A and B are shown apart, each in its own frame.
Chain A
Amino acid sequence: MTGQNSTVDIILVEDDPNDAALITRVFKKHNLTNKIVLLKDGAEALEYLFATGRYAHNPSHMSPKVVLLDLKLPKVDGIEVLKRLKADQRTKNIPVVVLTSSSEDRDIKTAYDLGVNSYVTKPIKFDDFAQVVSQLRMYWTLINKPYEPS
Chain B
Amino acid sequence: MMDKPNQMDPVEAENVEIVIIEDDLNDAELILQVFRKLNLTGQCIFLKDGAEGLDYLLTQTRYVNPASRSTPRVVFLDLKLPSIDGIEVLRRMKADERIKRIPVVVWTSSTAEQDLKTAYDLGVNSYVTKPTPFDELTNIVKELIWYWLRVNKLPTR
Contacts and interface: CB of A to CB of B under 8 A. Distances in A.
Interface of A: 92-93, 95, 103, 105, 108-109, 112-113, 115, 117-121, 132, 135-136, 138-139, 143-147, 149-150
Interface in B125-143: 125-129, 140, 143
B140 A143 contact: yes
B101 A109 contact: yes
B34 interface: no
A72 B140 CA distance: 32
B113 interface: yes
Contacts of B147: 118, 135, 139, 143
B103 A118 contact: yes
Contact of B151 (A109, A112, A139): A139
Given A105-B155, A121-B153, A135-B147, A147 B116 contact: yes
Nearest to A106: B155
Given A135-B146, A135-B147, A145 B128 contact: yes
Contacts of B153: 103, 108, 119-121
A41 to B, nearest CB: 24
Given A95-B126, A143-B128, A145-B129, A120 B151 contact: yes
Per DSSP, are chain A's interface residues mostly helix, strand or loop, or mixed? mixed
Contacts of A113: 100-101
Contacts of A109: 101, 155
Complex A-B, nearest 9 residue pairs according to Cβ-Cβ distance, in ascending order? A93-B120, A112-B101, A147-B116, A108-B155, A109-B155, A139-B147, A147-B120, A144-B126, A117-B125
Name the residue among B140, B147, B151, B157 with the largest chain A CB count within 10 angstroms: B151
A149 B113 contact: yes
A147 B144 CA distance: 19
A38 B129 CA distance: 29
7 contacts: A93-B117, A109-B101, A112-B154, A113-B100, A119-B154, A138-B143, A143-B147
A144 B101 contact: no
Interface in B12-68: none
Nearest to A139: B147
Contact of B111 (A139, A144, A145): A145
B3 interface: no
Given A105-B155, A143-B144, 11 more contacts: A95-B126, A103-B153, A105-B156, A119-B152, A139-B147, A143-B147, A145-B127, A145-B128, A145-B129, A147-B116, A147-B127
